[in-house]
Amino acid sequence: MPAKKKANAKPLAGAALVKEVCRRIRVARSYWDAHNNRACR
């Protein structure tokens, strides 16, 4: 099942962009640590 995508009216910029990127990295790292490697490909 594909991930849900929020329809953002405007692209992220500045602090919001940094926060979102950090969040995605954290999520990917948690998948990696759980050996859920298929989600990382």
pLDDT tops 70 at residue 40 = no
Model confidence at 37, pLDDT cuts 50, 70, 90, reads: low
CA distance 4 to 14: 24
Dihedral sign (CA 29, 16, 14, 6)? positive
Lowest mean pLDDT among 10-14, 21-25, 37-41: 37-41
Q: Taking the model in full, what pTM does it have?
A: 0.50
Give domain limits for the chain. Answer: 12-41
In our burial notation (b when 16+ CB lie closer than 10 A, e otherwise), range 8-38 reads eeeeeeeeeeeeeeeeeeeeeeeeeeeeeee
Taking residues 6-24, report their average pLDDT: 79
Taking residues 14-41, report their average pLDDT: 80
Model confidence at 14, pLDDT cuts 50, 70, 90, reads: confident
